[in-house]
Structure 1
Amino acid sequence: MSDFTIDWDREARTGVAEAVLCDGKTPAQIAAILASAGPRRLFLTRLSEDAHGRLPETARARLDYDPLSRTAVHGEPVAPTMPGVGVVCAGTSDLPVAREAARALAFAGFDAPVIADVGVAGLWRLMNRLPEIREQRVVIAVAGMEGALFSVLAGLVAAPVVAVPTSVGYGVAEGGKAALSSALASCAAGLVTVNIDNGFGAASAAIRIFRAMSRDMSEKQNSA
């Protein structure tokens, strides 16, 4: 009897495809999951370079692995073409989480730009990229330290903003708790928050928001 069950119907049921959290799984377990997938596509998160390197060569050959985000795509690649969701990243140190979100979006077919190094310590950097950010229908904001980007950005754009606190920081900001508190305590109306370092969760929320908005617009056009 297998010790895992893949939810292949999740995308049809929820709009977000199944993903495999590799943290806590042995290379043998990950390899077994990949073997069971056959040619079907899977998105893997938290796959360390060490675990990736210990997978059988046949398994690694079927993976598009990104060491920065520790994500991998199993199966045939699909070119992301759908616009509308963007990822805004406060600092270069936050890029692993931002890349996780962007890769999860790409897996779902979204051509999501990553607008990096626009933390509010140099507010001009954010303002220079604001026209590009305002083109997005949903924005994922990724920041560590004090998490000031969340409130500032949510006060400047009309799109829904999904905040992702990261564990980047030291002292009172260590572990992402300060950024998480900042996101949860924000006075910017409509800002929503996912867990620390949860780029995949933010991407999943953005996909659901985007598709709900698109469905509503389609229904309005059909009834007009």
Structure 2
Amino acid sequence: MSLLSNNTLCKKFECGTCGKIYKRHSGLENHILKVKEANTMRPTVYDLPEKAIEETRQALVYHIKEKLKKNSRHVGGVRIMVSCTESQFFGVFKGYIHDYYPKTGNYKCIFKGVSSYHTLSNVLGDDNWGIKYFSQQQQTFVLSYQQSPNPNDPDPLQEPDPLQEHDPLQEHDPLQESLQDQNKTSMHTAKKRRIYKPKPIQIVICWKRKTKSDVRSIVYSSGFIFINFTISRTRVIENFY
């Protein structure tokens, strides 16, 4: 997986996976080295037979597809939790782990971009891992990529009304122009306040160990996979002509 971006011409070095920006190329190289180290097997991880890894993949696909409902009330951001050992997680996602946190032992994978769905299809061994079909040509799916709007496109709300033609004989009223300038300034300020950076469309998969204890300080723990993704729906209209 490529971690380099095309921002080198702007003297910015960005990780294409997580979006971190570094001022120097050496910073990005260190980041890539950490990603490589995150995919190395640790003493707490042991090799599993391929059959056990395949069963883990099937379990993850099952839990993901169970969140794909027909009703539109179930669209949007979703988070699921699946019981999973560290070895099971590593067996499935080795080579795609982006972060490892030594203090907690947590892992994180990030899948985003045009090819993210195809990548996860290879990881999970199922082309239909993120889609479920319903009657009446309806389908619910995991949203893995959404093209961002072009900032250079004109704002239709700012275009002049062609029905309102300017009268060349009409004299300019300085007071009216002053009020118009004030209105434009207030509208621009209000628009700037409404501008926000939308959350990126991505699929984040983490492994964490949850530890608890009772009143006698008896500790018990287990590992879990947390999968964060966005659900969307559509209807396929077949063309019979």
TM (norm. structure 1) is 0.24
Q: Structure 1 or 2: larger helix share? A: 1
Q: Per chain length, whose mean CA-contact separation is higher, i.e. which structure has more relative contact order (CA < 8 Å, sep 6+)?
A: 2
Q: Which has the larger radius of gyration?
A: 2
